[in-house]
């Protein structure tokens, strides 16, 4: 069985970057963030969506790559999610190829800690241990970090 997130054809893909305010109470964040990653990885793999998620105390910043309809429908669910407020789309465009083609989701660090790419494969979701980050990935991760600090504005 193939996964559209990893086994789909190379080529143009829709990419959306958004930022939202984190409404998760501080005492619940560890548990809720774990649930978010578990759900996002599973759902995104099924939908053929790849990307990266940055979480801070105040902000979510996420890149979603995949079929435009699937990505926009997922964004619609995120906009209705009580954990998010003030969802702002920063970029939404068709790009030549996925930057996070093997990442079902990832934890992106804001403070110099290592990023943790997660890959979707035949055996499910695993940490992409030993995999370096490409220049394209690092550039997009830097944009996400800027957005988390309010340095990027909507398009």
Tens-digit pLDDT profile for residues 67-103: 999 999 999 999 999 999 999 999 999 999 998 876 6
Q: Does residue 153 belong to any structural domain of this protein?
A: no
Domain holding 135, by residue range, is: 4-148
Any domain includes 19: yes
The pTM assigned to this predicted structure is 0.71
CATH number of the domain that residue 106 is part of? 3.30.70.100
Mean pLDDT of the chain: 76
Q: Is residue 154 situated within a structural domain? A: no
Tokens read off for 33 = 């963030």
pLDDT in tens, 100-121: 876 655 555 555 544 555 444 4
Residue 129 lies in a domain: yes
Is 57 contained in some domain?
yes
3-state secondary structure of 118: strand
Tell me how far apart the alpha carbons of residues 37 and 116 are, in angstroms, rounded to a whole number: 12
Tally of structural domains, the chain: 1
**Helix boundaries (H) for the chain:** 4-7, 29-47, 68-80, 135-148
């Amino acid at each position: 069985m193939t996964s559209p997130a990893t086994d789909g054809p190379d080529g143009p893909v829709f990419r959306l970057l958004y930022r939202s305010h984190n409404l998760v109470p501080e005492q619940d964040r560890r548990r809720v963030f774990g649930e978010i990653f578990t759900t996002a990885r599973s759902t995104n793999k099924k939908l053929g969506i790849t990307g990266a998620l940055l979480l801070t105390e105040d902000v979510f910043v996420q890149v979603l790559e995949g079929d435009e309809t699937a990505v926009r429908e997922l964004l619609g669910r995120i906009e209705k999610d009580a954990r998010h407020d003030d969802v702002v789309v920063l970029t939404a465009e068709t790009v030549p190829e996925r930057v996070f083609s093997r990442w079902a989701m990832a934890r992106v660090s804001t403070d110099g800690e290592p990023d943790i790419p997660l890959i979707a494969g035949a055996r499910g979701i695993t940490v992409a241990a030993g995999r370096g980050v490409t220049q394209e990935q690092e550039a997009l991760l830097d944009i996400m970090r800027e957005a988390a600090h309010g340095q990027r504005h909507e398009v």
